[in-house]
Amino acid sequence: MMGHTHALSGAAGWMAAVPLVQDTELAGISIQLGPGEIVAGALVCAGSALLPDLDHRSATITQTYGIVTRTLSRVINWAFGGHRNGTHSLFFAALAGVGAGALALVNELAVQIFVFLMIGIALRGLGLGVPKNQTASEVINALVTAGIVLALYSAGVDYAWMGLAVAFGCLLHFLGDILTHMGCPLFWPINTYRVGNNIGFSTNGTVEQYLVTPLLTIAVILYSIYLFPWPDLLP
């Protein structure tokens, strides 16, 4: 799938999961999701839904922060055996989720930096930027992302759900890729068989452009109407 479709699936997926994880406990941590947590979670999950493609030098996520993400992409590509290998496995989803969850418990500054990165990646995936102008896109992305992160920080958003959102975003990415021709080696490194190989639709083909992407967009809009107390937000 394309980057924007993955990002939309992350946002819609998190919103769909909110009623299921609200007022629950994960590893002894209580998860309470107010409007700020829902917005932050949707954006973090959208960014995380692009994380597995950090192994590809031309991916949306790789181009988001210039030399920083390009360098990280080379390292990830080498460590996980190239594109659509280790980063498209359940092992990677668990690793990313546990790492993000631990980060949320250890250091407040590190959490804010991570949230900044994830939201910036999500916005880039959703199309924020200037076409064919990488520098302008990076500046606009950074400014908008900084504003969102500052607003969430001022609202006192709790990030106890961070690890769950990151792991879930990765799993949604896998689901999207399984629905395309290439599939995913979910059980890497134990087994490199690609689940969904040669089954499904073409990346950026008619089905993705005219069915999957519009449906995900509609889902985000409908969940926004359903989840947020709009009467309370109006003056």
How is residue 163 written in tokens? 């690890």
Give residue 127's pLDDT: 83
- Each residue's pLDDT tens digit in the chain (235 positions)? 788 899 999 999 999 999 998 888 776 777 888 999 999 999 999 999 999 999 988 888 888 888 888 999 999 999 998 888 999 999 999 999 999 998 888 888 999 999 999 999 999 888 887 667 777 888 888 899 999 999 999 999 999 899 999 999 999 999 999 988 778 999 999 998 999 887 777 777 888 888 999 999 999 999 998 888 655 544 5
Instruction: Kindly tell me the burial class for residue 190, based on how many C-beta atoms sit within 10 Å of its own C-beta (0-12, 13-18, 19 or more).
Output: exposed
Q: How far apart are CA 36 and CA 205, in angstroms?
A: 35
What are the residue ranges spanned by the domains of the chain?
A: 3-233
Give residue 183's pLDDT: 83
- Whole-angstrom CA distances from 204 to 4, 10, 169, 212 are 10, 17, 20, 10
Give residue 214's pLDDT: 92
Half-sphere exposure of 146 (CA within 13 A, CB side): 6
With left for phi above 0 and alpha for psi between -120 and 50, is residue 157 left, alpha or beta? beta
Instruction: Kindly tell me the burial class for residue 144, based on how many C-beta atoms sit within 10 Å of its own C-beta (0-12, 13-18, 19 or more).
Output: middle
